[in-house]
Chains A and B, each alone.
Chain A
Amino acid sequence: MSAADPTIAPASAAANAPSGRHAFGRGLRPWLLLLPVLLFVIGLFVLPLLGILRLSVVGPNGLTLEAYADFFSDPFYLRVLGRTLITALIVTFFCLLLGYPIAYVAARYAGTLGTALLLIVTMSFWTSFLARTYAWMVILGSQGLVANVARVFGWEPPQMLFTGLAANIGMIHILLPFMVLSLFAVMQRIDPNLLRASTGLGATPFQTFRRVFLPLSVPGMINGCALVYIVCLGFYVTPELLGGPKDQMIARLIGSQIEQLLDWQEAATMAAVLLVVTLTIFAVYDYFFGLDRLWRS
């Protein structure tokens, strides 16, 4: 605006000068407020993370990408990475499948039923995931609830605990609230008048769901899936406790590199790979859907 009108520009510049100093002080103040958390994050997160990245490329003889070459040439490691990606996909899929009806009922029937459902979901959200993992060990164990009930009906169940199935069930259970709450947040904002309008225009309840409600709930599905998928990629304790040795996910692999092989460089490399995979998913999500939506709703 200053260039367009030369007669006004100097005057406004002069008028702005004193307030400009103020603006500088004001501009600094938010940063002062952020300082403690910045120090915290930089000192305890960013620097260690850089340390890990450094660890992955520094060998005994200086800079090297050897560890990365090892990782990408080892079929076992790649299998674990692939399994991690696929497991996260399966878990996300079932979370969506199970979470959608729960969120739908909670959002559409806001009365007692909806509130009760939300309460149950939130309560499991508040319960320590470790406790819930142990609960699954009790339920799925060879002397557990499921096995004993099956025996009552004269059927000897196969081993359930320490299998991929148990690990997946545990992860689905723990991540389900993320999905339900993401879906609910979006579904709750769908104007009920739109559903009425659809009905009034001649749509059966199913057509209304299919053509109006479902498409409008897609943002919730994307948010929920992104959240569940990304959290699931780094899952450690639950697959470790419920799954078998053949169902290792990458977080477990990183753990064993450190604990058993003391190979910090390989562990750091794997961590870096996992980080890049996660950031890539975030980037894709951000490109198409905007990251702010994930947090806003």
Chain B
Amino acid sequence: MTQAQPFLRLDAVSKRYGGRAELAVEGVSADIREGEFVSLLGPSGSGKTTTLMMIAGFELPSEGRIMLSGSDIVGIPAHRRNFGMVFQNYALFPHMTAFENVAYPLRLRKQPSSRIDEKVKRYLDMVGLARFASRRPAELSGGQQQRVALARALVFEPTVVLMDEPLGALDKNLREQMQIEIKELQKKLGITLIYVTHDQSEAMTMSDRIAVFNNGRIEQIAAPLEIYRRPETRFVGEFVGESNMIEGRVGDATERRVETEIGEIEYGPDSAFGAGMPVFAMIRPELITLAEKLPPRNGTQLTVTRTIHFGDRVSVEGTTVGGTMLRFRASGREAAVCATGRQVNVAWRSDDVHILARGQ
């Protein structure tokens, strides 16, 4: 099977800042397809922004190559890469109007003014700001400023668009609205977009694929649901969504059972582990349900230690006799059953159990 040449390829890229012993980014490799929306997700200091800055050309990799359509772009300065960039603090030019800000990249490209006029208007209209063209950034709200920044990053039809936590400064409702808008624009215009965020739900809702960063490395790069359902490392499982990680060892590999403190746990067919291997059995809280009776397997008895009400649902924490803590969800109606101190039976399906390797 021959694969099309990747559009943007990071090839074992590392970054060491002068004088520091540890690497800020360590051997990051990824292939990004044309028109793909890839999020770089991770906690602060995980190397995701540094990676973005190296793609943009604002930082030079200490090692490795960054390839665009097969040629190395590391030596090309940022202003000749033709990448659009959106910053968290918008970085609009305060001395220019919204129109002038969007026109800026076109003016640099010496496009004729009639064309600039037409394009700027079209892109301002696309982000819903046609009426605000003559306003200065200081006269625009945060959301409007970010839309101008968006239009400015798209108007010159860049090869790749890079966004560094673009919605980080906006409030929750606006952020969710902008997520949808950015995603729709990206799809409509077929933009290749690399999006840095520390917000896992943002990455989940917007991305075609997510690269989860930790300590300067990519722990896993995959589609959002794949990341959610089958995390490859404990970090990914815990960083993306809530999870119960139950320590154990593979017992009977053909029967797909893990021996744990809360008994044998059966797992789904997707994992291949040999007998005796140390593993985590991961179960998402929303896949654990209350049960009338204690099932023979794939279930346990819990003493409820804490409940958090969200109105429509309840997040419940309980411990087993052996002291293992499990978290699960109950509906608002079931809240009374799960009051603190009560004993409840919970169960899950073996297909919902994901096994991942556990270091010694």
Q: Which residues of A contact B (CB under 8 A)?
A: 191, 193-194, 196-205, 207-208, 211-212, 215-216
Assess whether B84 is in contact with A200, with CB atoms less than 8 Å apart.
yes
Closest 6 pairs between A and B when the two form their complex, measured CB to CB: A200-B85, A197-B91, A201-B105, A193-B91, A202-B108, A199-B78
Q: B136-181: which have CB < 8 Å to A?
A: 152-153, 156, 162
Q: How many residues of B contact A (CB 8 A)?
A: 26
A203 contacts which chain B residues (CB < 8 A)?
79, 104, 108
Interface positions of B from 3 to 58, Cβ below 8 Å from A: 56-58
Contacts of A198 in B (CB 8 A): 93, 104
Query: Which residue of the partner chain A has the closest CB to B78?
Result: A199
Give bound CA distance, A202 to B57, whole Å: 12
Residues on B with beta carbons closer than 8 Å to the beta carbon of A202: 79-80, 82, 105, 108-109, 156
> Which chain B residues numbered 261 to 289 have a C-beta less than 8 Å away from chain A?
none
Shortest distance from the beta carbon of B97 to any chain A beta carbon, whole Å: 13
A211: chain B residues within 8 A (beta carbon): 104
- Does residue B87 face the partner (Cβ distance < 8 Å to A)? yes
- B231 CB to nearest A CB, Å: 33
Task: Give min CB distance, B10 to chain A, whole Å.
Answer: 18
Contact of B93 among A194, A199, A200, A204 (CB under 8 A): A194
With A201-B108, A202-B108, A207-B108 in contact, is A194–B91 under 8 Å at CB? yes
Whether A204 pairs with B79 at a CB distance below 8 angstroms is yes
Contact check, A216 vs B152: say whether CB atoms are below 8 A apart. no
Closest Cβ–Cβ distance, residue B110 to chain A (whole Å): 10
| 17 extra A-B contacts, CB within 8 A, seeds A197-B93, A200-B84, A203-B104 | A191-B91, A194-B91, A194-B94, A196-B78, A198-B93, A200-B78, A200-B79, A200-B83, A200-B85, A200-B162, A201-B85, A201-B104, A201-B105, A202-B108, A212-B93, A215-B95, A216-B93
* Least distance between A220 CB and chain B CB atoms (Å): 13
> Is the CB of B324 closer than 8 A to any CB of chain A?
no
Residue-wise interface mask of B (275-310) relative to A, using a CB-CB cutoff of 8 A (1 in contact, 0 not): 000000000000000000000000000000000000
Please pick, from A197, A204, A205, A207, the residue contacting B87 in the complex, using a CB distance under 8 A: A197
A contact residues around B162 at 8 Å (CB)? 200
B89: Cβ under 8 A from any A Cβ? yes
- Chain A contacts of B57 at CB under 8 A? 200
A193, closest chain B residue (CB): B91
Contact of B89 (CB < 8 Å), options: A193, A201, A208: A193
Please state if B89 and A191 are interface contacts (CB–CB under 8 Å). Answer: yes
Residues of B within 8 A of A191 (CB): 89, 91
A residues in contact with B105, CB < 8 Å: 201-202
Looking at A204, A211, A215, A216, which has the most chain B CB atoms within 10 Å of its CB?
A: A211
Instruction: Determine how close the nearest CB of chain A comes to the CB of B116; give it in whole angstroms.
Output: 13
Once the chains bind, are B56 and A200 in contact (CB under 8 Å)? yes
Question: Once the chains bind, are A199 and B79 in contact (CB under 8 Å)?
Answer: yes
Q: Contacts of B83 on A, CB cut-off 8 Å? A: 200
Could you list 26 examples of A-B contacts with CB < 8 Å? A191-B91, A193-B87, A193-B89, A194-B93, A196-B78, A196-B85, A196-B87, A196-B91, A197-B92, A197-B93, A199-B77, A200-B57, A200-B83, A200-B85, A201-B84, A201-B85, A201-B104, A201-B105, A201-B108, A201-B152, A202-B80, A202-B82, A204-B79, A205-B79, A211-B104, A216-B95
Q: Is the CB of B58 within 8 A of A199?
A: yes
Contacts of B153 in A (CB 8 A): 201
Q: How far is the CA of A200 from the CA of B105 in the complex (A)?
A: 9
Q: A191-B89, A202-B108, A204-B79 are in contact. Are A196 and B156 (CB under 8 A)?
A: no
In contact, A197 and B108 (Cβ under 8 angstroms): no
Using a CB-CB cutoff of 8 Å, which residues 88-137 of chain B contact chain A?
89, 91-95, 104-105, 108-109
Please, how many angstroms separate the alpha-carbon atoms of A202 and B105 in the complex?
A: 6
Q: Are B94 and A216 in contact (CB under 8 A)?
A: yes
Complex CA gap A202/B78 in Å reads 7
Q: Smallest distance from the beta carbon of B102 to chain A beta carbons, Å?
A: 10
Looking at A196, A202, A205, the one whose CB has the most chain B CB atoms below 10 A away is: A202
Q: Please report the C-alpha to C-alpha distance between residue A197 and residue B105 in the assembled complex, in whole angstroms.
A: 10
Tell me the nearest residue of chain B to A218, going by C-beta. Answer: B95
Interfacial chain A residues near B85, Cβ < 8 Å = 196-197, 200-201
Interface centre among A201, A203, A211 (most CB of B within 10 A): A201
Knowing A201-B105, A202-B82, A202-B105, the reply to whether A196 touches B89 (Cβ < 8 A) is no
Name B162's closest neighbour in chain A (CB-CB): A200
Q: CA–CA, A215 to B95, complex, Å?
A: 7
Assess A196 versus B79: contact at CB under 8 Å? Given A201-B104, A201-B105, A202-B108. Answer: no
Q: How far is the CB of B77 from chain A (nearest CB, A)?
A: 8
**A212 and B78 alpha carbons, distance in the complex (Å):** 16
Report the bound CA distance from A56 to B232 in whole Å.
Answer: 90
A11-B105 Cα distance, complex, nearest whole Å: 61
CA distance A199 to B85 in the complex (A): 10
In the bound complex, residues from chain A placing their C-beta under 8 Å from that of B92 are 197
